[in-house]
Amino acid sequence: MFSSTVKSIVRHTIPEAHYHYLGWHRSRFGSASAIRSYLRLLTSRERLCSVSVPGSSHGVYVRPGTTDQDVFDQVFARKEYELDLGDPKFILDGGAHIGLASVFFALRYPRATVVSVEADPSNFELLVRNVGAFKNVRPIHAALWSHRTTLQIENPEGATWSPQVAEASGGGVPAITIDDVLSDFKLDHIDILKLDIEGAEQEVLSACHSWINRVDSMVVELHDRFRPGCSEALEQATRTIPYARSESGENVILRRIGS
């Protein structure tokens, strides 16, 4: 454990983001690992830190002092996606952020194809790097939406895990539909649909009539605080389908009864 004197020196000599990263890493992997990780950061031209995935030989990159660390905890420490969802063959990770959930899915379900859709350019760049070792993960730089259009990030200065999108008249991020994904990958159904898309789930779920009956399980984080009506959109979309409902962390879990 760091002494109070060392903590004081470190606190006043390194950037705040690095200090928070060191404390976070130390509390999870120990002081020696934190120091080694930080030394690699200092000697690298990149502003990234490599973190080992618990129980795996794989590592992932996070941006120190950002909400990337919170997402790592959500996925690999609290294991919010460690669910009994059968033996999926196709997983759609909507709002894949930097790819941590996709890495979790790829490790847990090595026979499944994981399609990772992320709108934010900087998140997507890191996503591609994090899933590079997994041949079963297909990253797509786009945003899930109700129809094909172009979107823009409304809060580019916001936290890394919460990019919100809206339709744009000029250039921006391409919007794709879940029907597009099914068509592009020549599929008739989705085994697991994960949606963590910062309020855009209202748009996606409001136009679900053509695909909702083709989804076995859903893992949805609702964002009524960003866009009122998200919870209602989920209720309306699934009201006629026999889903068993539960919760895991901030996620609503829906599994089709009998699947």
Per-residue pLDDT of the chain (259 residues; tens, 9 = 90+): 555 665 565 566 788 989 899 999 999 999 999 989 988 888 888 889 999 999 999 999 999 999 999 999 999 999 999 999 999 999 999 999 999 999 999 999 999 999 999 999 999 999 999 999 999 999 999 999 999 999 988 877 777 777 888 888 777 899 999 999 999 999 999 999 999 999 999 999 999 999 999 999 999 999 999 999 999 999 999 999 999 999 999 999 999 997 6
CB 80 within 8 A of CB 74: yes
- Angle subtended by helix axes 16-29 and 31-42, to nearest 10: 140
Query: Residue 192 forms beta bridges with which residues?
Result: 91, 217
Q: What is the DSSP letter of 159?
A: -
Residue 34 sits at the vertex; the CA angle it makes with 56 and 107, to the nearest 5 degrees, is 15
| CATH code, 80-256 | 3.40.50.150
Sign of CA dihedral 185, 210, 208, 83: negative
CB 58 within 8 A of CB 103: yes
**What confidence tens digit (pLDDT) does each residue in 35-71 have?**
899 888 888 888 899 999 999 999 999 999 999 999 9
Tokens of 224: 């009524």
Residues spanned by CATH 3.40.50.150 within the chain? 80-256
